[in-house]
Amino acid sequence: MTGPARITARAVADFVARRHGLTFERLCAPCTRRDLVRPRQVAMYAIRQLCPHMSLPHIGRLLGGRDHTTVLHGVRKIEDLMPTDDCIARVVDEVMVHFHVDAPCPADTILAVQIDAASKHLGVLLHARRAELARVA
User: In the predicted model, what is the mean pLDDT of residues 77-100?
Assistant: 89
User: In the predicted model, what is the mean pLDDT of residues 67-96?
Assistant: 91
User: Are 17 and 38 within 8 A, CB to CB?
Assistant: no
The C-alpha atoms of residue 47 and residue 11 are separated, in whole angstroms, by 9
Q: Would the pLDDT of 12 be above 90?
A: yes
pLDDT above 70 as % of the chain: 87
Tell me what percent of the chain is helix, strand and coil, each rounded to the nearest 5: 70, 0, 30
Phi-psi region at 21: left, alpha or beta (left = phi > 0; alpha = psi -120 to 50): left
What's residue 65's pLDDT? Answer: 92
Residue 107 pLDDT class (50, 70, 90 cuts): low
Q: Would the pLDDT of 26 be above 50?
A: yes
Is the pTM value of this prediction over 0.85?
no
User: In the predicted model, what is the mean pLDDT of residues 34-54?
Assistant: 92
DSSP assignments along 73-96, one per residue: HHHHHHHHHTTT-HHHHHHHHHHH
What's residue 105's pLDDT? Answer: 57
> What are residue 88's phi and psi, to 5 degrees?
-65, -45
CATH C-level class of 9-99? mainly alpha
Give exposure, 64-94, as e/b (b: 16+ Cβ within 10 Å).
eebeeebbeebbebbeebbeeeeebeebbee
User: Are 106 and 97 within 8 A, CB to CB?
Assistant: yes
